[in-house]
Amino acid sequence: MAINKNSNSYTFLFAIAVVVIVGASLAAIAEGLKPYQKENDDIKKKMEILGALNIECNRENAVEMFYKYIDTTASIVLNSEGQEIPGDPFSVDHKKSIKIKRLILKTENIL
């Protein structure tokens, strides 16, 4: 029995198979690259902090320069209102804290 490659069902099954294979491949690659993305984000944050202090650095020496000029034992995180946020500066999710602040402001306007 031969498969009719010109039928609609064959076309849909082929498309579904391609989507599943490509989607699974992309998901596996994204999970595999997560540690590298986190490391890249941390280096970028360190470079931005050093840039705010007018200290020139690049990706290769950013970590070394950061620990040379920044005392990490006494670091604190402040929000836009100057209130201290508990936690490590590199573990605080600023986008999440902004969303929480917006939610609080919206609920205060309702009351």
Mean pLDDT, all residues of the chain: 82
Question: Hey, how many other C-beta atoms are within 10 angstroms of the C-beta on 47?
Answer: 20
Q: At how many degrees (to 10) do helices 8-52 and 62-69 cross?
A: 40
Percent of the chain surpassing pLDDT 90: 38
Question: pLDDT tens across 16-27, in order?
Answer: 999 999 999 999
Predicted pLDDT of residue 106 = 53
Question: pLDDT tens across 25-73, in order?
Answer: 999 999 999 999 999 988 998 898 899 889 999 999 999 998 898 877 7
Residue 84 pairs in a beta bridge with 78
Alpha-carbon distances of 54 from 22, 49, 65, 73, rounded to whole Å: 45, 9, 12, 21
Domain extents in the chain: 76-111
What is the pTM for the complete model shown?
0.59
